[in-house]
Amino acid sequence: MSTEAIDPRYVDIDQWPTVRAVEAMVEGQMAAIAAIGSQTGRIAQAAEAAAARLGSQGRLVYVGAGTSGRIAVQDGVELYPTYNWPRERLLFLMAGGLAALTEAAEGAEDDVDAARAEIAAAGIGPHDIVIGVAASGRTPYTVAAITAAREAGALTIGVANNDGTALLAAADHGLVAETGTEIVAGSTRMKAGTAQKAMLNMLSTAVMLRMGLVYRGLMVNMRISNEKLRLRGQAMVRDIAGVDLGTAAQALDAAGQDIKQAVLVAMGVAADEARHLLDAHGQKLPDAMRAVRKGG
């Protein structure tokens, strides 16, 4: 595996001046992002398939071990505050359990029986999207989880840093960024981890776009949890509905701090009607707004 190989260019890096070592790390991070360039089409295809499958009940399930698992969880946990993605529609399967997020449990990555059991216990099914992340592309726990999830009818996505590996073969959609050797041999928290995080960011953001949770580049499904976000929400309602800030604030309060509903309220729709209108249009704000303008 190229991600585990020793790079002769860096065998003396511990003897280099620190600034030179850091410069080499920066070059490595840039190369990691460049390695994603060939995957844009695959990421888009996976995102579109995921959005179509999720519907109103499907879950996003992140699977991984070690560094890759921690990066996967980091992507998933951001979806609740950023897009108000329901917590009950997020699931994290980490080799060694969630305690492995802060304490190393590297031996757990070989436990294929645990992976299969956890997929079964979670009741994974056809509406679910299961995303497995492994730099090597062959981590037994992750490959077993993806295989079991696919057998259960879920849509599966594999994210790896080595092509032609078991994880990519097991998944419906395989995403690979061949980041190659690391400056510190085998430390996939560096280049490989950066590429994984970027691919997951793009994938989950594209899914949210296709789910109608973004409008005109704005996070209209954002969860308002503090004063800063409340003010941001008011500004969104003001700009989208074309009203003054005071009207936007009143609409947001009437809509229970739901930005999409508040836009419709600011357009003259009652709060209950706004909620039903969004439901009728799959929570897609542009469609609901067009219906209001047309009178129903």
State residue 1's pLDDT score.
Answer: 62
- pLDDT of 45 > 70? The answer is yes
Q: Is the pLDDT of residue 296 over 60?
A: no
Residue 274, pLDDT score: 95
Active-site positions? 78, 109
pLDDT, average across residues 15-31? 95
Calpha distance 227→249 (Å, rounded): 12
Confidence of residue 56 (pLDDT cuts 50, 70, 90): confident
Given a contact cutoff of 8 angstroms between Cβ atoms, the answer to whether 68 and 138 are in contact is no
Contact criterion met (CB below 8 Å) for 224 and 259: yes
- Residue 132 is predicted with a pLDDT of 98
CB-based contacts of 253: which residues, under 8 Å, 6+ apart?
A: none
**Residue 186 pLDDT:** 81
Q: Domain 2-210 adopts which CATH fold?
A: Rossmann fold (3.40.50)
The reply to whether domains 2-210 and 227-294 share a CATH topology is no
Query: Average pLDDT for residues 266-281, to the nearest whole number?
Result: 94
pLDDT band at 259 (very low <50, low <70, confident <90, very high): very high
Task: Count Cβ neighbours within 10 Å for each residue of 262-289 and write b for 16 or more, e otherwise.
Answer: bbbbbbebebeebbebbeebebebeebb
What is the third-level CATH fold of 227-294?
Helicase, Ruva Protein; domain 3 (1.10.8)
Mean pLDDT of 78-89: 95
Rounded to an integer, the average pLDDT of 16-30 is: 95
Residue 104 confidence class, pLDDT cut points 50, 70, 90: confident
pLDDT score recorded for residue 8: 87
The band of 207, judged by pLDDT with boundaries at 50, 70 and 90, is very high
The DSSP result for 220-286, as a single string, is: TT----SHHHHHHHHHHHHHHHT--HHHHHHHHHHTTT-HHHHHHHHTT--HHHHHHHHHHTTT-HH
Question: What's CA 226's distance to the chain center, in Å?
Answer: 23
List the domain boundaries for the chain. Answer: 2-210, 227-294
Considering the chain, what percentage of its residues have pLDDT values greater than 90?
85
Work out the mean pLDDT of the chain and round it to a whole number: 94
- As a whole number, mean pLDDT of residues 196-205 equals 98
Q: What is the mean pLDDT of residues 146-170?
A: 97
Radius of gyration over alpha carbons of the chain, in Å? 22
User: What is the rounded CA–CA span in Å between residue 43 and residue 169?
Assistant: 16
Report residue 118 as tokens: 């956890």
Contact in structure between 131 and 146 (CB atoms under 8 Å): no
Write the burial class of residue 126 (CB in 10 Å: 0-12 exposed, 13-18 middle, 19+ buried).
Answer: exposed
CA–CA dist 176, 231 (Å, integer)? 40
First to last CA, the chain: 59
Cα separation, 237 vs 267, whole angstroms: 10
Nearest alpha-carbon partner for 155 in 32, 53, 56 = 53
Say how far apart CA 211 and CA 252 lie, in whole Å. 22
Range of lowest pLDDT (71-75, 95-99, 116-120, 228-232): 95-99
Q: What is the mean pLDDT of residues 23-45?
A: 96
pLDDT for res 50? 98
pLDDT of residue 252: 97
Closest C-alpha to 43, from 158, 199, 198, 217: 199
Cβ–Cβ under 8 Å, residues 89 and 204: no
Residue 55 in tokens: 């519907």
Strand order in the sheet with 90-94: 90-94, 60-64, 129-134, 155-160, 173-176
